[in-house]
Every structure is written in C-alpha cells, then in structure tokens.
C-alpha cells in the first residue's frame, strides 16, 4: 500500500512539474510574441535615396501616437524630408506628416497589416504615397512614384495567394498610372500640321486682311489622336478648361414684352475690381444712390439704380472707343459655355468691352412671354446691336456666333444688308442648311446621340416656363415630354410659336444659306471639314464666292466646336479664337482710320470758314 501511495505521489508530482513547465513555456512564448510584435511595429522602411540628398518615406504601426524614442531620434537627426504613418490601436486612425513629427495631419485609412517591407504595401498605402506626391515638386513626385513602383518586387506581382495579390495590384496600379501619364504627354505633344482652306473673292481688301491673320501662316496643328470628329467634339465639350467669370446680369426688355439677358463680365480669373471693394467711401456712394431711403414696409426698394451704378463704373474702366464685342452661343447655350468664356477672356485681355447675349429662356434667364427663340428670329439680335450702338456710339461693334448663334447672326446681317449695325462679325460652325443638319442628326449612332443630348437640354430650358404656353391652340404638352430629338422639340414648340406649317418649312426658311449672299459687312466663317453636325455639304459655296465681304476658312479636323489645335490645345481656348481676334484687330484699326479721316474732313470746312 505504501509503495502504491508513493508511486501515486510521484506521478502527481511529475504531472504538476509538467504543468508548471508548460505554463512557463506558454508564458515565455507569449512574451516572445509580444516582443516580436513590438519589434515588428517599430520597423521602418526607407527608400527614395539620391546621390546628394536622402529622401525618406516611412511607414510605422504602433499602439500610441508618439513614435518610439529610438525611431524619433533617428528621424529627427535626419535633415531630409519624410512622411510617416502610424496606426492607433483598433480605431484604424491614421496620421501622416511631412518634415517631422511636429507636423501631422489627418489622412485616409491605411492597411491594418504590419508593413515590414515594400512588397507588403497595400493599395491604400500606395494611394497615400500618390496623395503625398501631389503636394511635392515635380521632380520629387516623379522620384517618389517611380521608387514606389520599383520597390515592389516583380516576384510578388506574380506570386500566388491573397497576401501577395493586394500589394501586387497596388504596385501595378501605381506603375501603370505613371506610365499612362507619360504616354499621354507624349501623345498630346504629337501634332499633325495641315493647311487651312481659304475661300473668298480675290480682292485687295481680302488679301490685306488674310495677310494680317498670322495664325493662318502657322497652319492648323491638330493633336493627332484627337482628329476624330466625335472624339474632338465630345472631349472638348466635357474636358475643356472652364474660365472663372463673374457676371453682372442685365435684363433688356423687348418690344413684345419679353426680355433677353445680357451678362457683363465684371471679373475674369478672380481679378479684383473696384465694385468689390468695401471701403467706407464705396459704401457711402452706394447708399447715396437711394437718397429717399427709409425702411420699406408697403413698397419694395428698387435695386436697379445700384446695378446701373455698378455697370456705369464698369463702362468707365475702358476708353470710349474700346471695341464692343457681342457673344452669341449655340443651341440651348449661353454665357456659361466654356468656348464662349475662352473667347470672352481673350477679348477682355485685349481691352474689349464684352457682353454675352443670352437668348430668351437660356442660361437661367426668365421667359416673360410664350415665345422661345429660333433660328429664324432675328428681332432680339437686332435690338441688342441697336442698344450697344446707342450706349457706345464712338466704338466699333463686333459680334461672334457659334453654331445656332452663328446662323442667327448671319441671318441678321443678311437681312440688314447695308444698314447692319455690326462693323465686323465671325461665325463658327454655322449649320447654314438646317434640313441638311437635321439629316445628319437622324442618321447613325453619333447623330442620334447628339440630337438626343440637344433635345434634353432644350426640354430642361422649357420645363420651368411650360405654364406660359398652355393657352396656345396647337400646343400639346405630351409632345414636349416625348421629344427625344431636336426635330421632335421643334415640332412641339418652335413650329407652333413661330407659325410654320411644318418643321421642314421652318428649317428651309431659317437656314442662313439664304441670307449670306446679302451680307455687306466683313464676315469671317470658320468651319471644320469633319463637322458631324454642320457638315461641309451644307456650306453655300456659290453664295460665298459671289460675296466679297465673306471669308471662309475650313480646317481639316475639329468636329463641332471641338478644335484641338493651337498653343492651348487640347483643353484650352479653341483654335479659331486667335484667328477671330486677329480679324477683329484688323477691322478695329480700319475703323479708327476711317474715323480719323472723317473727323479731319469735318474740321476742314470749319477752318476754311474761319
């Protein structure tokens, strides 16, 4: 019995010993794991090394915001720039800073995995690299991106497993992005030079004008990959740079009770103007405009005198003989159009007095009567030109029209003939023949796409004013709602409000091909040979050839208002803008010369009489 009891005690003691050893082993293993994790968190990745200067990018995970003392001293002793990212516990918070630990700012979430080498960088971490690269100089940005791409080994890109797939995709994303940027730069720098076709009568005046158009001598240097008509049209529409313009809107009443909106640019590209200065003198001057000011309860105070005062101050910033330029946009367009703003900025920089003419109901202008604008209606355009001549009688008057605006402008000049108030004009992408234009919009995928887009824009313009048309006998709201093409909208609204028997009759009567032969002022027409909307087949070549006042320029490419050539291509000002300004400069000089000669002749009889 005693022997058995001793054996049991020994077995029990041996079990307790094994248990203690296992507990000690587990504690030791746990302690090693903690130390290993701590060491792993303190690991730091350094790269982007150059010959003269070391540039560091660091990634660190730790449980608390302050870095370890050893790491902090290592980084603070370096004079190089670095970025460090740290993780705080399970909150997944991340901070990034540049230039030292004293400057930290909130950034987006990084990968929660331990970052022990570049090959383990996650896609979010590389996104952080890209964001920090944006704020760096161009040379350091290139180095940072290139090193980040090269830091991930190609073996990890093609290795199997979920752990390697994410950093492989991230590195591939960074590398492909960098390569894409370089490729796009190379592609956009490759241009195809072509001559611009010129059609006009061979007169001395036309020869002298063409001689002064220096842009024509250079030719049309289109970006090669953007010579496709649809690509240039769509990309220019969506990706052309916008111009920051601050307008003062003026509503000009028409004889029928309607109004048109004139937008005067008071500020271009964030320029500071006097009307924005809030000095005590300016505030006092503003208050003095309303001498009978008192709290209004039964009546509404008129703000019109204040607006008129601002415009008067704006007019005085330019000399009285500064050329006045009226800008007319295309279908459903207005002062918000990018191509119009680019022309506006160029003219303002030349010292022109510029105004954007918005047709009835366009560019968020009010519609006071059940009457939209149309390609055949020239009354509003004539009224605006007459008002500009009344306000600025001692200055030349010029006008530019795009697309449908070009058609309306040409019709106005043809109807007025010798009595035209405009001294010179320019039309761009004029459709000329609306029936032919309608055919282009009805055939093929692209034509239907353009037509649907323009119809949607017209419906959006019409929607806020639909209640004005309810009483018209032939008006059917259902047709407007169902309009999916320009022809559908013209059938539902334009034909009805302007009294045409059919859409075809409206198109035939409205095309400027019928009036261009009667134009008696200098007119520059710029067309693209590959225009998918205003096709070259619609150009009235015989009428243009018979008119000594018209010069026709045709570029090899450009689509519809999508010219991608010139110094600012592809996303800056369209190519014809510079040509149009040179054209206007020639006629502004001619106008001043004639005015000086007329003044001299007027003074001569007075001197003889004296």
- Of 145, 166, 187, which residue constitutes the final position of a domain? 187
Q: Please check whether residue 54 lies inside any domain of the structure.
A: no
User: Each residue of 162-174: pLDDT tens digit?
Assistant: 445 677 777 777 7
Q: List the beta bridge partners of residue 248.
A: 264
d(C-alpha 245, C-alpha 232), whole Å: 25
C-alpha 357/C-alpha 388 separation (Å) is 11
By the 8 A CB rule, do 406 and 328 touch?
Answer: yes
Residue of 531, 549, 557, 577 marked catalytic: 531
**212 and 134 within one domain:** no
Q: Are residues 360 and 239 in the same domain?
A: yes
pLDDT digits (tens, 9 = 90+) for 46-85: 333 333 333 333 333 333 344 445 444 444 444 333 333 3
**CA gap 384, 365 in Å, rounded:** 15
Number of domains present in the structure of the chain: 3
427 and 551 part of one domain: yes
Dihedrals φ, ψ of 462, to 5°?
-80, -30
Instruction: Lowest mean pLDDT of 49-58, 174-183, 535-544, name the range.
Output: 49-58
Q: Are residues 369 and 265 in the same domain?
A: yes
Which position has the higher pLDDT, 123 or 307? 307
**Where does the pLDDT of residue 142 fall: very low under 50, low under 70, confident under 90, or very high at 90 and above?**
very low
Q: Phi/psi class of residue 103: alpha, beta or left (left: φ > 0; alpha: ψ in -120 to 50)?
A: beta
pLDDT at residue 203 greater than cutoff 90 = yes
Q: Is the pLDDT of residue 265 over 50?
A: yes
Same domain, 422 and 326: yes
Residue 41 has pLDDT above 80, yes or no: no
Query: What per-residue confidence (pLDDT) applies to 30?
Result: 81
Same domain, 341 and 489: no
Catalytic residue among 55, 232, 374, 403: 403
Point out the catalytic residue in the list 143, 560, 577, 587.
Answer: 560
Residues 319 and 403 in one domain: yes
DSSP annotation of 140: H
47 occurs within a structural domain: no
Please tell me the distance from the alpha carbon of residue 428 to that of residue 408, in angstroms, as a whole number.
12
Q: Three-state DSSP class for 24? A: helix
Residue 352 located in a structural domain: yes
525 within 8 A of 544, measured Cβ to Cβ? yes
Distance from C-alpha of 416 to C-alpha of 408, rounded to nearest angstrom:
12
Maximal C-alpha separation, the chain: 160
Confidence (pLDDT) at 172: 79
Answer yes or no: is pLDDT of 94 > 60.
no
Which of 466, 495, 510 is where one domain is finished?
510
Contact assessment for residue 402 and residue 329, using Cβ atoms and an 8 Å cutoff: yes
Structure tokens at 565: 């050539």
Element (H, E) at 363: none
CATH number at residue 403: 3.40.50.1820
Task: Looking at the structure, tell me whether residues 386 and 263 fall in a common domain.
Answer: yes
pLDDT of res. 80: 35
Q: Considering only CA atoms, which of 270, 247, 405 is closest in space to residue 335?
A: 247
* Residue ranges with strand state E in 37-92: 83-88
Residue 90 in any domain: the answer is yes
Find the range with the poorest average confidence among 268-282, 385-399, 442-456.
268-282
Q: Which residue has the tokens 């995709």?
A: 169
Alpha-carbon span 497 to 503, nearest angstrom: 12
Indicate if 441 and 489 belong to the same structural domain: yes
pLDDT tens profile 19-31: 788 788 888 888 8
Residue 291 included in any domain: no
- 446 pLDDT tier (thresholds 50, 70, 90): very high
Q: Which residues pair with 356 in a beta bridge?
A: 263, 327
22 within some domain: no
User: 425 and 331 in one domain?
Assistant: yes
29-38 mean pLDDT: 76
Q: Is-catalytic flag, 403?
A: yes
Q: What share of the chain is helix, strand, coil (3-state, %, to 5)?
A: 50, 15, 35
Q: What is the predicted pLDDT for the residue at 173?
A: 75
The pLDDT tens digits of the residues spanning 122-139 come to: 444 444 544 454 444 444
Question: Is the pLDDT reported for residue 537 higher than 50?
Answer: yes
Regarding beta strands 93-98 and 397-402, do their DSSP bridges make them parallel or antiparallel, or are they unpaired?
Answer: unpaired
The domain boundary, picked from 487, 510, 533, lies at 510
Let me know: does 575 contact 569? Beta carbons within 8 Å.
Answer: yes
More confident residue, 223 or 270: 223
Give the model's pLDDT for residue 315: 81
**Cα separations (Å) of 488 from 220, 223, 452?**
37, 36, 10
Domain range for 251:
194-270+304-433+511-593
User: Is there a domain that residue 155 lies in?
Assistant: yes
Task: Please state the rounded mean pLDDT for residues 555-583.
Answer: 92
Q: Which of 42-46, 86-90, 318-322 has the highest mean pLDDT?
A: 318-322
Place of tokens 């307790």: 16
My answer on whether 234 and 315 are in the same domain is: yes
Local structure of residue 493 (DSSP, 8 states)? I
Examine the pLDDT at 218 and tell me if it is beyond 80. yes
Interval 232-259: pLDDT, tens? 999 888 989 999 999 999 999 999 999 9
Q: Looking at the domain assignment, is residue 166 inside a domain?
A: yes
How high does pLDDT run on average in the chain?
Answer: 78
Domain co-membership, 368 together with 471: no
pLDDT at 16: 77
Query: How far, in Å, CA of 402 to CA of 405, rounded?
Result: 5
Q: What span, in angstroms and rounded, lies between the C-alpha atoms of 179 and 189? A: 15
């Amino acid at each position: 019995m005693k022997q058995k009891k001793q054996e049991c005690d020994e077995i029990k003691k041996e079990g307790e010993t094994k248990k203690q050893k296992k507990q000690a082993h587990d504690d030791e293993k746990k302690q090693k794991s903690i130390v290993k994790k701590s060491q792993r968190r303190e690991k730091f990745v350094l790269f982007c090394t150059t010959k003269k200067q070391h540039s560091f990018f660091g990634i660190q995970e730790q449980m608390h915001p302050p870095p370890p003392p050893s790491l902090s001293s290592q980084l603070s002793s370096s004079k190089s720039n670095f970025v460090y990212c740290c993780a705080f516990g399970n909150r997944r918070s991340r901070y990034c800073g540049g230039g030292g630990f004293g400057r930290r700012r909130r950034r987006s979430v990084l990968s929660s995995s331990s970052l022990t080498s570049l090959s383990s960088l996650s896609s979010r971490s590389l996104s952080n690299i890209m964001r920090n690269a944006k704020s760096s100089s161009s040379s350091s940005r290139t180095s940072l991106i290139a090193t980040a791409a090269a830091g991930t080994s190609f073996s990890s890109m093609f290795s199997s497993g979920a752990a390697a797939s994410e950093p492989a995709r991230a590195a591939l994303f960074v590398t492909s992005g960098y390569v894409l940027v370089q490729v796009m730069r190379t592609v956009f720098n490759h241009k195809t030079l072509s001559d611009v076709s010129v059609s006009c009568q061979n007169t001395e005046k036309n020869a002298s004008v063409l001689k002064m158009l220096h842009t024509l001598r250079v030719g049309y240097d289109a970006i090669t990959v953007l010579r496709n008509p649809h690509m240039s049209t769509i990309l220019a529409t969506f990706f052309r740079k916008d111009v920051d313009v601050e307008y003062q809107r003026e509503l000009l009443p028409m004889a029928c009770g309607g109004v048109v909106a004139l937008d005067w640019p008071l500020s271009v590209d964030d320029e500071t103007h006097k009307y924005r200065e809030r000095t005590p003198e300016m505030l006092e001057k503003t208050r003095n405009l309303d001498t009978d000011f008192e709290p209004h309860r039964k009546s509404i105070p008129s703000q019109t005198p204040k607006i008129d005062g601002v415009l008067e101050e704006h007019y005085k910033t330019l000399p009285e003989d500064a050329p006045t330029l009226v800008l007319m946009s295309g279908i459903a367009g207005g002062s918000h159009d990018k191509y119009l703003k680019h022309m506006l900025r160029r003219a303002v920089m030349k010292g022109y007095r510029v105004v954007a003419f918005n047709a009835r109901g366009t560019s968020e202008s009010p519609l006071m009567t059940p009457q939209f604008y149309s390609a055949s209606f020239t009354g509003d355009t004539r009224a605006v030109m007459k008002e500009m001549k009344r306000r600025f009688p001692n200055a030349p008057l010029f006008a530019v029209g795009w697309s449908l605006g070009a058609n309306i402008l040409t019709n106005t000049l043809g109807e007025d003939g010798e009595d035209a108030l405009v001294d010179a004009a320019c039309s761009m992408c004029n459709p000329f023949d609306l029936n032919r234009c309608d055919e282009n919009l009805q055939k093929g995928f692209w034509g239907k796409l353009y037509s649907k887009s323009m119809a949607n824009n017209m419906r959006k313009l019409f929607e806020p004013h639909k209640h004005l048309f309810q009483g018209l006998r032939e008006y059917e709201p259902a047709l407007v709602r169902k309009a999916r093409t320009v022809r559908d909208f013209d059938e539902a609204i334009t034909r009805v409000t302007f009294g045409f028997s059919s859409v075809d009759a409206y198109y035939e009567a409205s095309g400027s091909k019928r009036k261009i032969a009667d134009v008696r002022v200098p007119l520059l027409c710029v067309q693209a040979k590959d225009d998918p909307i205003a096709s070259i087949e619609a150009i009235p070549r015989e009428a243009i050839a018979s008119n000594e006042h018209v010069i026709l320029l045709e570029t090899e490419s450009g689509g519809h208002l999508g010219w991608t050539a010139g110094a600012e291509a592809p996303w800056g000002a369209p190519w014809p803008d510079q040509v149009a300004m040179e054209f206007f400069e020639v006629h502004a000089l001619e106008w001043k010369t004639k005015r000086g000669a007329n003044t001299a002749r007027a003074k001569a009889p007075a001197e003889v009489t004296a």
